Chains A and B, each alone.
Chain A
C-alpha cells in the first residue's frame, strides 16, 4: 500500500497525543470511540475491584465423545466424532482457538502428490532430521492424509488467504527495529472476518457440538480400566463441572514452566499429569524444545514470537526434493538445534536478534514453498513480514519437543489409542513418539497439520468405539473426591504463593546446564531441588481465589513434568537432536535407538524403560558416522576420534 510511508510520517509528526485516532482515521476504519484531546489527557488507567464471577448455567454434561482441549487436535477430533453422528462435548481451559499453541502457527505444510511432491525425498529428510527416532509409520499416515487435512481446514476458513500485514500497510517495515511499529488493532479490525481463531468455535456450533470454556479438567475418571468421563471446574466461578462420556479424547497440549517469549502459557502439562497418574507410560521427555527469545525484550511474547499473529497462515510444502533432502535436514538441524546450543552456552553467537529478516525477499523454496510452477500450486512458503530472530534461550523453558513427548501408545499405534478402554490422546505434548523423533526441525510448519490429521483419526476412532459402547456414569464419590482436591488449596492457612512457586521452578530449570548442555552432575543436582519442591512446597500451595486454584494445580503438573524430563535426560546417556549431554557428547546407535518411557509404579515411584524403535526406522546402520549424522555437537568428533570440522550453527550465518 503506497500510503504506508506517508502514514508513518504522519504518525511520527503527530508524536503522542491524538496519534491513535490519526491512524484509524487514515486507514478509513470506524473509530469505536471518537476521542478528543481532553479525553486522552484524562485517561483512566486504574482498575475496578475484582468482581465475583457467575457460575455457568450448565454444570453437568453427558455425551458419547468428550474432547478435552480445543486446539487444532481437539477441534479436528470433535468434528470427526460429530460427523460420525455421535454427540460430542468439548471442554477447554480457555476458549477454543485462543488457548494453547493453536493461536500461533504462521505456516501450514502438507504433502501433495498431485503437485509432484517426491515422497521418497520427504521420507529420507524426516528420517535423517529426526535422527532415526521418527515414527515412520505415523509419517506414512501424514503423507497419505495431510492434503485432506489442509482441505478440511481451508473449507472451515482457517486457512483464508488475505493481504499480509506487510502488503496492507498497517505495519511499518523500514527494517529499523525501533521503527517496526504498526497499527495492529487497525489491521485486525480490517481483516477480522478472516481471523482463524474465530472459526474454531464456529465449526463447533455448525456441527452442534456443545462446549464449556474457561473450564479446567482436573481428572479423567476411569473405573475398571474403562473411561467414564471427566471432572473439572469453571475457573472464574469455581463451579464443579462434570461430563459423563463413553469415550474421551485428551487433546490438552504440552506446557512450559513460565511463558517468557513463546506464548504457550495456556497449556501446563495437565493432560500429561492426568495420564501419568492413570498409569499410562510417558515418553519423549528428554527432548526439550528450547525456543529462543530476544535478549533486549525477554519475556515479551508479543515481540518475540507473535509477530505474525495477524497474518494469514502461510501455506508450505513441495520444497524438499531428492537433491535437497539431506542438506535440508542438515541446515535446519544446524540452525534450530546446534545454533541454540552454541548460543546458550557461549552467549550471543551471531546476532543480537535485531537482524530483522524479510523472508519475502527470498526464493520460494528457501521460504518453505514449492517451486513446481504447477497451475493451482498455492504453497508459496513463509512470506514473513520483517521479523526479529530470538538470540537467547529461555522463551518457554520446559516445553517439550513438538510431537515427541506425551503418552506412549505403543510402536504400532496410529490413532492415539491408550491401554484404557475408551481413552485416546491426541496432539502436541499428548501423543508421544511422532515422526519428528529427536528433533523437529525438518517438520517445521508441519505440526498444525499433523496434529489436525491425528485429531481427526482419534475422533473417528473414539466415535466408532462409542457407537458400540455403554455409558458408565462417573460415580458420585469420585466427583466428591475430585471436588475436595480442587478446593484443597483454598483451605491451606499458611503456605506458599503459587506465583512464587512458579517463578522459583522457572529459576531452577532455566539455567543452560539443565536443558541445553546437560550432564549427570547438573541433572542430579537439579532433580534434588525438584524433589524438594515436590515434597515440601507443592502440598503447601495456598489459593486465595479460584484463579489461584488453577495456578496451584498447574504447579503440581509442572513439577511432575520437571521430574519426568530430568529422569529421562539422565537415562539417555548419549547426545541426539534436542538432547545434548556434555558427558556423552555423541550419538550412540547401539544403545539409544529407543524411546525412554516413564511409568508410575505401584509404590508411586517411576519405572524407566527403553523401547527400541522398529528396525526399519533406524536407517542404514552400516553408513559411516559422518554421513549418518551431518552436524556435530561440541566435542563430538574429538571424542569419537574423527577429524574435527569448523564450528557449525548460527542463524543467518548458516
Chain B
C-alpha cells in the first residue's frame, strides 16, 4: 500500500495509471477527467503508475505498505526507514 496522491491538480486525465496498474487500484472519473485512487490497500508499491504518470500527480510513500513478516529485523530499522523515503522523494 504505497501509492499516494502528490497533487490532484496536476492530474491531466491521461489514464496511464488506470492502464498500467496490475492491482486494480485506480478508477477514472470521466466527468472530472481525473483518476481516483480507489483501492490503495491492494497496491503492491511497484511504482509503475508513478513513473508513467504524465502529469506527475502521483507519488510513492513509505509509511503505508504492508510489512513482510520476517524472522529478524535490522538494528537500523528506524533510521533506515526514513532513508527509504529519501530514495523516492525528489525533494
Residues of A near any B CB (own CB < 8 A): 11, 14-17, 19-20, 23, 32-33, 35, 39-40, 42-51, 53, 93-95, 98-100, 103, 177-181, 183-185, 188, 197, 213-214, 235-236, 258-261, 263, 265-266, 293-303, 306, 309-310, 344-348, 352-354, 391-395, 397, 499, 503, 506-507, 510-512, 547, 550-551
Contact = CB atoms under 8 A, between A and B. Distances in A.
**Which of B36, B38, B76, B89 has the largest count of A CB atoms less than 10 A from its CB?**
B38
B1 to A, nearest CB: 8
Interface string B38-56: 1101101111101111111
25 contacts: A11-B91, A32-B12, A32-B54, A32-B55, A33-B12, A45-B8, A48-B36, A94-B22, A95-B19, A98-B19, A103-B46, A103-B48, A177-B87, A236-B27, A260-B68, A293-B70, A296-B84, A301-B44, A301-B46, A303-B84, A303-B88, A354-B76, A393-B70, A393-B71, A506-B66
Contact of B28 (A16, A51, A346): A51
Given A260-B65, A296-B77, A47 B72 contact: no
Given A47-B37, A394-B68, A547-B38, A295 B77 contact: yes
Among A35, A297, A306, A392, max chain B CB count under 10 A is at A297
A613 B86 CA distance: 50
B69 A394 contact: yes
Contacts of B77: 295-296
Main secondary structure of the interface of A (DSSP, over half): loop
Given A236-B24, A301-B47, A306-B46, 18 more contacts: A32-B10, A45-B8, A46-B5, A50-B27, A51-B28, A98-B20, A181-B90, A183-B90, A184-B47, A185-B51, A185-B53, A296-B77, A299-B66, A302-B2, A397-B68, A506-B69, A510-B68, A510-B69
A550 B7 contact: no
Contact of B20 (A16, A177, A197, A550): A197
Interface of B: 2, 4-10, 12, 19-24, 27-32, 34, 36-39, 41-42, 44-48, 50-56, 60, 62, 65-77, 80-81, 83-84, 86-91
A100 B22 CA distance: 7
B47 A306 contact: yes
Contact of A180 (B23, B66, B87): B87
B55 A33 contact: yes
Contact of B8 (A44, A184, A266, A507): A44
Contact of B45 (A17, A103, A300): A300
A392 B71 contact: yes
A11 B48 contact: no
Given A179-B86, A297-B84, A547-B39, A347 B7 contact: no
A299 B65 contact: yes
Max chain B Cβ within 10 angstroms of own Cβ: one of A15, A260, A310? A260
Contacts of A40: 7
A103 to B, nearest CB: 7
A352 B88 contact: no
Contacts of A51: 27-31, 36
Given A98-B19, A266-B23, A47 B71 contact: no
Contact of B70 (A183, A394, A547): A394
Contacts of B76: 296, 352, 354
Nearest to B58: A185
A134 B65 CA distance: 37
A544 B30 CA distance: 22
Contacts of A503: 66
Closest 10 A/B residue pairs (Cβ): A296-B80, A394-B68, A266-B22, A347-B72, A298-B68, A297-B84, A302-B47, A265-B44, A295-B74, A263-B46
Contacts of B56: 20, 32-33, 185
A32 B30 CA distance: 20
A214 B47 contact: no
A512 B71 contact: yes
A352 B77 CA distance: 10
A509 B19 CA distance: 31
Nearest to A213: B19
A507 B84 CA distance: 24
A187 to B, nearest CB: 8
